[in-house]
Structure formats: C-alpha cells, structure tokens
Amino acid sequence: MNDFVAWCDYLGTFAFAISGIRLAASKGFDWFGAYVVGMVTAVGGGTLRDIMINVPPFWLLQPSYLIITGLALFFTIALRKQVVRANHSLFFFDSVGLGLFVVVGIAKTFEAGFPWWVGIVMGTITGSFGGLIRDILINEVPLIFRKDFYALACFFGGAIYVALMTWTGLSVPIIQFISAAAVLGLRILAVLFHFHIPTFEATEDTQEA
C-alpha cells in the first residue's frame, strides 16, 4: 500500500472507532463495552474483506488497530460533551470512516490481484459492514438496511475510483483522495437534500407475519 492508503487505514480506524464508541456511550455502555463496539466497528468490514479475498485479517498482523481504538476511547472520554452530546458527531465520524475505508478496501483488493468489480464490492463491504455489525450489537436496525444513503455512497465512491483509474492519467493517491471525498460529499448531499433509497411500504400481510 502507498502512504496515502496507510494513512486512510489508520484515520479511518480512528474515525470508525469513535463512531462506534460514541454510539455505545449514548446507550450507556461501560468503557470496556464501548471499546469492544468501537473495535468491531473499525475492523469488522475489513476483516470480512480479508477473509473473502483469502488474506490474513489485517488487525491480526500488527497491534496498531487495537491501540488506535484505545486512543479513540480516551478521545471520546476526554471530550465526552463535544463528541457524545453533539448531534452531528456520529454522522461526521461515520462518514469520514466510510470514505477512507472504501479507498482502503479497493486498494487492498487490487493489491491481491482481483478485478475492478471485486474492488468496488470489497470497498463497499470494507466501508459499510463494520457499521452493520455495530448496529446489530447495540440492537439498532443497521443503517445499511434503512433508507439512509450509506452503502450506495460507498458503491458510487468505488465506481469513481475505478473510472478515474481507467480513463484518466491521475496519480493513484489523487484518485484515492477524490474517491474518499466523493463518499463523504455524497453522504452530506444526501442529508442536505433529503436523498434516500425508496422503501417498501409495509402491508397488512407482512405486519401480521
């Protein structure tokens, strides 16, 4: 991995860990429980990606991800009022982690020799599945299953990554930066302009079932 992807990996871990810890704190979890939720949020998607592309899960190879999650916990404890009580802090940290992890997922998939469509899928999994596991652990309906513009933002960010790699002569770090920024931008635009995925209307039959 190039230096930009490495920084994306670490910063994404920090951002996603904070999003998990912040949500656990708002539910009244103790510090250890919040750390576990933060850790799962940070490494869940990447672990599934590595298993699927048949490489050792990344966090088993070095302790930095455990340490970064610990730093995220202390950061949240020290700035509890600003992080936990701020209405938009979860959205911000979750969206930043989402964009950074899409880039990491695609880069690692390409490094393992897989084609572009696998890269987009693995980028989406890396970005969104940690949050899915987080929401299940704290007994929430996962964002990926709601009308929120979440996994689709990862998909479009990954498509932008592949398109720029294929049809432009931009350097790889610039492409990766644009891709990560696109995911964050799409999430913000979706909130500002109320974009969402259409949902199925519940019927009497499904409600009774």
Q: Is 181 a residue whose pLDDT tops 90?
A: yes
Cα–Cα dist 158/155, whole Å: 5
Question: What amino acid occupies position 156?
Answer: F
Cα–Cα dist 13/122, whole Å: 17
Is residue 51 in some structural domain? Answer: yes
pLDDT digits over 124-164, tens only?
999 989 888 988 988 887 777 766 678 888 999 999 999 99
Burial of 34 (0-12, 13-18, 19+ CB in 10 A): buried
Specify the higher pLDDT residue, 163 or 2. 163
Is residue 140 in some structural domain? Answer: yes
- In the prediction, which pLDDT does 19 show? 85
Specify the higher pLDDT residue, 91 or 86. 91
Is residue 208 in some structural domain? Answer: no
Is residue 13 in some structural domain? Answer: yes
pLDDT digits over 45-74, tens only?
999 999 999 999 999 999 999 999 999 999
- In the prediction, which pLDDT does 56 show? 93
Task: Record the tokens describing residue 207, joined without a space.
Answer: 């409600």
Per the prediction, the chain carries an average pLDDT of 86
The count of domains in the chain is 1
Cα–Cα dist 80/136, whole Å: 23
User: How many residues appear in the chain?
Assistant: 209
Local confidence band at 207 (pLDDT 50, 70, 90 cut-offs)? low
Is residue 205 in some structural domain? Answer: no
- In the prediction, which pLDDT does 139 show? 85
Task: Record the tokens describing residue 199, joined without a space.
Answer: 């949902």
Local confidence band at 87 (pLDDT 50, 70, 90 cut-offs)? low
Cα–Cα dist 119/133, whole Å: 21
Does the predicted TM-score (pTM) go above 0.75? yes
What does each C-alpha distance from 138 to 9, 20, 195 come to in angstroms? 24, 10, 26
Is residue 206 in some structural domain? Answer: no
Task: Record the tokens describing residue 57, joined without a space.
Answer: 């899960």
Q: Is 209 a residue whose pLDDT tops 60?
A: no
Q: Which domain holds residue 32?
A: 3-196
In this structure, the number of other CB atoms found within 10 A of the CB of residue 65 comes to 22
Is residue 17 in some structural domain? Answer: yes
Is residue 24 in some structural domain? Answer: yes
- In the prediction, which pLDDT does 33 show? 93
Give the whole-number percent of the chain exceeding pLDDT 70.
Answer: 89
Confirm if 164 and 175 have CB atoms less than 8 A apart.
yes
Average pLDDT over residues 23-49: 92
Cα–Cα dist 167/183, whole Å: 20
- DSSP type of residue 202: P
pLDDT digits over 192-204, tens only?
887 777 777 766 5
